[in-house]
Structure 1
Amino acid sequence: MKNYMCQTHFLKNTIGLLTFLSVVGCSTAEKTTQPTTVKVEQTPALTIKKFKAYTQKFTNTTTLTQNHATGHIGEYFFTHWKDGGSASLNMQTNGTFNVDWQGGGYNYVGGPGWHYGDENRVIGYRFDSDSGANFITVYGWGYDKNMAKTDPSHLVEYYILQRWSDAYEPSQNGVFGKKFVSNGVEYSTYRTIREEKPSINNTSTFYQYWSKPSQQQPLGVELEIVFADHVKAWADSGWVLPNMNNFDASDDPTYQVMAVEVFNPPADGTASGRVWNATPK
């Protein structure tokens, strides 16, 4: 449940390096630790003009510690966001990453993926460690600027949970959809609503769609998520996912990532793994 705040983006020249830093907040920008061995260049394959941050490409292993950073590391998009506290994202160009956090009263969400959602994408992943993340989940957005803003379906935040803590349970406040099996895993779907909350398109009222497995998915095993199965299951309940490949929203494109989320973590922790595109050629 990423809470967007007003953002400032800037580039800072260093000797022999150009380091992308981006800070969330409405007050004086905090000083941050510089990412490791970062070279920034334009990404020819991307024609993104609205969000300057997304045109940047880090070509080496990068550690992000600032409040907010987005872009590409190798061929993978990443989002890294927190509203305080201490959490870092270390990411390699092949989709390998780890998130480290310290206990405190704040929210963090981040991880690698793609700057757009694709209904036909199969997400391959392996998680090697998880010491208490609230969610490890496929996480993304859909947005249709042509739909009435009074219709919560115009903006959807979705979660396909793989691992979770007991701190938040979507079924408690959600509308149940259906049970279904995808790639050998049984899921239950739920829909919740966020009323006048921060989003990728300012403060909005929008739906959240959830798919939750009957049991937590294991560590150290290569797994695949067939995204189309979840889109179909949501649609079977009348929950339509709007456009997942656009730059129409005010604050972010409709990205799709494998996210680690922690909120008000009671202790230090870490989560690590790798993400890749497993879509059949």
Structure 2
Amino acid sequence: MKTFIPFKAVALLAACGLAGCVMPEQQAATTDSVAVAGIDKFQAYTQTYPEQVHLTQNHATGHVGDFFFTHWKDGGAASLSLDNQGSFTVNWEGGGYNYVGGPGWHYGDKDRVIGYRFDEDSGANFITLYGWGYDESMPTSDPAHLVEYYILQRFTYNPSKDGIFGKTFVSDGVEYSTYRTVREQKPSINSTSTFYQYWSIPTEQRELGKDYKIVFADHVKAWADTGWIIPDMNNFNASDDPTYQVMAVEVFNPPKDGTASGQVWDASEQ
């Protein structure tokens, strides 16, 4: 639920030193580029960072090892530390702002199984698998052309109040209920648009210190069972961002300082 700034502009700001601070050795977050056809449209996404990175600026994105990450805030003080093994820590200070960030992949994959563990959580509003799908061939008047999805794992705020209920299902031993909401003319990966949000909300929140899996195909099927089709999740044709998929920590207007930490990995072949 962030306000998007085209990353070409962010990259220019970063080059001018206006986007915030990264430790000097991490400025080498470099001219090396990720060799993926189409991603070069989003120059910031091709950046590769050292094996460990600590980000404090307002906007940053790129790759650490095989992991893509996003780091975004509209003010306040929040930082993201992560390494090439998928370990991450988000620290935030109380204040009136929105932060979202975490590691994952620069595209969604319906067959991906996401492994994760959360070690700390001081009250993040959402810790969630988060991503986008986009189909530029569909009319923009149809909210289904662009979908923002959340598979919540821990949360302090339940977003289903104004949503349309879909179904209840079980995935990897966890019971989820699905909901759909609509965002009308709001910022997105494709400029200001009207789009759907899909939510999968567990009946019980995931505990700290344990390994879990998200079988993404189960959620894609559950949404489709009620007619909610997610569009292309490997798409570089949106105006501002590709259709990434990350384990995101989101805080909005946090009342006090906090921390969330853990690790993410691709469990598809395990």
Specify if TM > 0.5: yes
CA contact (8 A) 1:179 1:186 kept: yes
Deviation at 1:36, TM superposition (A): 6.0
TM-score by length of 2: 0.94
Matched, 1:234 2:235: no
CA contact (8 A) 2:34 2:48 kept: no
Matched, 1:276 2:270: no
- How far, CA to CA, are the matches of 2:32 and 2:75 in structure 1? 30
Deviation at 1:115, TM superposition (A): 0.1
Deviation at 1:49, TM superposition (A): 1.6
Map of 2:2 onto structure 1? 2
Which amino acid counterpart does residue 4 of structure 1 have in structure 2? F
Residue aligned with 1:123, SS: strand
Matched, 1:135 2:126: yes
CA contact (8 A) 2:165 2:178 kept: yes
- How far, CA to CA, are the matches of 2:215 and 2:105 in structure 1? 15
User: Higher RCO, 1 or 2 (CA under 8 Å, sep at least 6)?
Assistant: 2
Which amino acid counterpart does residue 180 of structure 2 have in structure 1? R
Residue aligned with 1:262, SS: strand
| Larger strand fraction of residues | 1
- How far, CA to CA, are the matches of 1:31 and 1:186 in structure 2? 41
Map of 2:105 onto structure 1? 114
Which amino acid counterpart does residue 262 of structure 1 have in structure 2? V
- 1:224 to 1:203, Cα distance in 2 relative to 1, 3 A: same
Deviates more, 1:251-260 or 1:169-178: 169-178
Deviating 4+ runs (over 6 angstroms): none
Matched, 1:251 2:240: yes
Which amino acid counterpart does residue 10 of structure 2 have in structure 1? H
CA contact (8 A) 1:37 1:60 kept: no
Map of 1:37 onto structure 2? 25
Map of 1:26 onto structure 2? none
| Larger helix fraction of residues | 2
Deviation at 1:42, TM superposition (A): 2.0
- How far, CA to CA, are the matches of 2:250 and 2:34 in structure 1? 31
Deviates more, 1:118-127 or 1:40-49: 40-49
Deviation at 1:4, TM superposition (A): 1.2
Deviation at 1:2, TM superposition (A): 1.7
Map of 1:263 onto structure 2? 252
- 1:250 to 1:31, Cα distance in 2 relative to 1, 3 A: closer
Aligned length: 266
Deviations 1:194-241 (A, max 9, x none): 000000000000000000000111000010000000000000010000
- How far, CA to CA, are the matches of 2:15 and 2:103 in structure 1? 17
- How far, CA to CA, are the matches of 1:251 and 1:88 in structure 2? 23
Map of 1:164 onto structure 2? 155
Deviations 1:5-26 (A, max 9, x none): 35523479xxxxxxxx379xxx
Map of 2:59 onto structure 1? 68
Map of 1:15 onto structure 2? none
RMSD between aligned residues: 1.7
Mind listing any 5+ residue stretches in structure 2 that lack a counterpart?
A: none
Deviation at 1:43, TM superposition (A): 3.5
- How far, CA to CA, are the matches of 1:135 and 1:102 in structure 2? 16
Mind listing any 5+ residue stretches in structure 1 that lack a counterpart?
A: 13-20, 24-28
- 1:11 to 1:207, Cα distance in 2 relative to 1, 3 A: closer
CA contact (8 A) 2:180 2:196 kept: yes
- How far, CA to CA, are the matches of 1:22 and 1:150 in structure 2? 37
Map of 1:148 onto structure 2? 139
TM-score by length of 1: 0.91
Residue aligned with 2:161, SS: helix
Deviation at 1:33, TM superposition (A): 2.3
Deviates more, 1:51-60 or 1:105-114: 51-60
- 1:37 to 1:222, Cα distance in 2 relative to 1, 3 A: farther
Deviation at 1:175, TM superposition (A): 0.2
CA contact (8 A) 1:22 1:69 kept: no
